[in-house]
Structure 1
Amino acid sequence: MPRTLITGGAGFLGSHLCDRFIEEGHSVICMDNLITGDTENIEHLFELGQDRFRFVEYDVTDYLHVNGELDYVLHFASPAAPDDYLQYPIQTLKVGALGTHKALGLAKAKDARLLIASTSEVYGDPQVHPQSEDYWGNVNPVGKRGVYDEAKRFGEALTMAYHRYHGVETRIARIFNTYGPRMRIDDGRALPNFMSQALRGDPLTVYGDGSQTRAFCYVDDLVEGLYRLLMSDATDPVNIGNPDEITIKEFAEEIIEVTDSDSDITYEPLPSDDPQVRQPDISRAREELGWTPEVDRREGLRRTLEYFRAEVEATTAPARD
C-alpha cells in the first residue's frame, strides 16, 4: 500500500486529493493547521481507521517529520483565496518558503516523490495570452497580491533546486481557477462570492467593468490532472486548468441563470494588480499527461449548486431556542 502525505489536506483541493488517493489504494496522512482548512471536509474519512487515513493538525512551517516510509508528498498547504492571503500575508509567505523547504527536505529524507501546488498567479497580470509554461510572468513583488504570487514563484525555484542539486523527484502543477463542492462561501473568489450572493438574492459584486477573463476548471478534472502529473515523468511545470475562457461579467450572468436568481449585478473598483486575462495553454498537459478537462462549466456549476445551496441555508437559518 503506497503511503502518501498531503499537506493542506483539509482544504478544498487537499480534501479532494485525500479522497482520490484513498480510492487509489494509498494510505493517506492528511496534515493541516486549519487556518483555512476544515475537518468537515475530511470527516467522512475518519471511519477508515489510521492504517488508511490519519489526520494530523500541524503547521508545516515547523520541523516536519513523518515516522516510517513515505512514497509521495503533495504540498498543498497555503491560503489560496484572496481574502485569506490578504488576511494572512506572513503565514502565506512562510508556507510558500519554509513550508516548501520542509516538505522538500522530508521528500529527500524519505526518497519520496513530491508534487507542489503552484498557481497561475506566477504569471501575474500577464502580457502573453494564453499563458504557457515558458512565460516568466508579470508580477508586482511589493503589491498586496505579491505575498501569494512570490511565495509560489519562490516555491517553484526551491523545488527545481532540490530536483537539480539533490536529485529529488519533483513535479510542479500550475493550477488555474478551480471550483466545486467544499469551497468556502464568500472567500473572495469569483464563484463562491457569486453563487452565495445569487442564492441569497443579493446583488453580485463584479470588480472593474467585468471585462477581465478567467477560465474555470471543475475540481474532479483538476484532481485527475494532478494525479496524472504526479505519476508522470514531467519535471518541468505543467499548467492544469480548463482553457474555456469567459469574462467575469458573463460568468456572473451565467451563475444568475444557473441559480434561477433575481439578483442584479453591481460594480466596485478593481483591486490593484488584478489580472486582466487568465487562460491556460494546456498543450504540455495534453502531450505529456494525456489530460484534458471533461466537465463543461455549466455541468460543473450544476454539480456545485446543491453544495452551495446547503451551505448558504445553513448560514442563514434562524437560530433555535
Structure 2
Amino acid sequence: MSGWTIIGAGGFIGGRLTRALRARGEAVYAPSRDAKDLFERDLGQVFYCAGLTGDFAVRPFDTVEAHVTLLAQVLAKARFERLIYLSSTRLYDSLGAAGGREDDMLAFDPAAPRNVYDLSKALGENLTLARSEGRGAVARLSNVFDLAEDASGFLPELLQEARHARTLSRDSVPGAVRDYIHAEDVVAGLLAMADRNATGVVNVARGENVSNADLAQVFAEAGWTLNLAPDRPTPQAPVCATARLRALGVAPRDPRVLLREALRAPDFFRG
C-alpha cells in the first residue's frame, strides 16, 4: 500500500479521519482544494470526504462541485488503490418507513430544490460504484454528532447551551427523530471499511431513531428542561439497516447513554 489520501481533510469527518490515521502511524496526504499534484502522485487508499451539508440550499453549484465534479476528475485522472465515497442516509428520506436498506431503489423529485443534495450524492455514489473499475465503495453516514465544544448540529448545540443554562428551548416537535451516531464511531466504521475491503454500500449509522422527546427525557433525568414545539404529525422516518456495518466489527454506541454521561460529568455545568 502507498499510504492514504483524505479529500476534504479540513472538514468535520475528514479532519478526524486524518488524525486517527496519523495516530496509528499511517502516512496521510491531505490535499488542499487546489492541490497541483493531486493527479500526479499515487493516492493509495482514498477517503472522499468533500461535501456540503447545512448550506447546500444556498450554495447549490458548490454542492455539485464538491459531491460530483471533483470526484469525477479523481476517478478519471488520479492513480489510487481504492476509494471510499462519503454519502448520506438522507437519500432514504423520500422512501419513508419503507427505506433504510443499502439495496433500496432510491426515489427523488428532480424539481425539488432541496434535492440538489440528494441527487448530487446519488450521482457521486453511481460514479464511485460504476466507474471506479471495482475499486470504489460508498459509506452512507447518518446524523453524525460530537460532544466536543466546537461541534455543530442539533445535539452538540444543545449540549453547549446546557453548559450555561438549565432551561433550553427548540422550535422542533417532540416526535421528530434522527439516527444519531458519534463521530468516533463513524471514524471506526470508515477505517473498518478500508481495512476489510468492504464493497458496495454500507450504512454507517446506529440503526435506531431517537426522538426529540427521548432527548428531552435524558435532559430531564439529569436536571435540565428541554422545551419543544407543540407536537404534530411527522412523516415516518426510515430505519437504517446496520448488519453490514456490524459485520465489519463496528457497533455504534447509544447516543442517549453518551448524552447522559456528558450531562452528569462533575465539571459539565458552568452556570
Report the Cα offset of residue 5 of structure 1. 1.3
1:205 paired with 2:205, answer: no
Which one of the candidate residues 82, 87, 90 is aligned to 1:113? 82
Structure number with the higher helix fraction is 1
- Aligned partner (choices 173, 181, 185) of residue 217 of structure 1: 181
Note closer, same or farther for the CA distance 1:3–1:234 as it changes in structure 2 (3 Å cut).
closer
Contact 1:117 1:174 in 2 (8 A): yes
Pairwise CA distance, 1:102:
2.3
Match of 1:280 among 233, 237, 240: 240
After superposition, the Cα gap between the structure-2 partners of 1:59 and 1:91, relative to the gap in structure 1 and judged at 3 Å, is farther
Asked if structure 1 preserves the Cα contact closer than 8 Å seen for 2:93 and 2:237, the reply is no
Contact preservation (8 Å) 2:143, 2:181: yes
Equivalent in the alignment of 1:12: 12
Q: Deviations over 1:56-88 (max 9, x none)?
A: 3x258xx872553321111101112x3x22232
CA contact (8 A) 2:63 2:116 kept: yes
* Structure 2 equivalent of residue 22 of structure 1: 22
Return closer, same or farther for 1:6/1:17 CA change in 2, 3 Å cut-off: same
Structure 1 residue corresponding to 2:102, chosen from 133, 149, 152: 133
2:138 corresponds to which of 154, 168, 172:
172
RMSD, aligned CA:
3.3
Q: What is the letter of the counterpart of residue 227 of structure 1?
A: L
Q: Quick one: distance in 1 between partners of 2:22 and 2:114?
A: 34
Q: 2:127 corresponds to which letter in structure 1? A: L
Task: Quote the sequence identity (%).
Answer: 24
Q: Indicate how the Cα distance of structure 1 residues 241 and 142 shifts in structure 2: closer, same or farther if over 3 A, else same.
A: same
Contact 1:75 1:114 in 2 (8 A): yes
Between the aligned partners of 1:269 and 1:211, the Cα distance in structure 2 is 8
Instruction: Check 1:30–1:233 CA distance in 2 against 1; reply closer, same or farther (3 A cut).
Output: closer
Report what 1:291 is aligned to. 250
Distance 1:278 1:305 in 2: 29
SS of the residue 1:143 aligns to? coil
1:163-221 C-alpha deviation (Å, 9 max, x unpaired): 3xxx2511110111121145855x5x3213433443453643143x3313222111221
Query: Out of 201, 208, 214, which is 1:237 matched to?
Result: 201
Partners of 2:177 and 2:212 within 8 A in 1 = yes
Question: Quick check: 1:147 aligned with 2:119?
Answer: no
Opposite residue 156 of structure 2, the aligned amino acid is P
CA, structure 1 residues 302+144, in 2 after alignment: closer, same or farther (shift >3 Å)? Answer: farther
Scaled by the length of structure 2, the TM-score of the pair is: 0.83
Q: 1:256 to 1:76 in 2, by over 3 A?
A: farther
Mapped pair 1:91 → 2:62: yes
TM-superposed deviation, 1:21: 1.0
Whole-angstrom CA distance in 2 between matches of 1:175 and 1:200: 31
Distance change >3 Å, CA 24–CA 303, structure 1 → 2: farther
The answer as to whether partners of 1:176 and 1:217 remain within 8 angstroms in 2 is yes
SS at structure 2 position matched to 1:125:
helix
Q: 2:75 aligns with which of 97, 101, 104?
A: 104
2:52 and 2:94 mapped to 1: Cα distance?
20
Number of aligned residues = 269
Mapped partners of 2:255, 2:37: distance in 1 = 38
User: 1:278, CA displacement in angstroms?
Assistant: 4.0
Matches within 5 A, 1:243-254: 243-254=207-218
Q: Distance in 2 between matches of 1:144 and 1:131?
A: 23
Secondary structure of the corresponding residue to residue 96 of structure 2: coil
- Aligned counterparts of 1:21 and 1:191: Cα–Cα separation in 2: 26
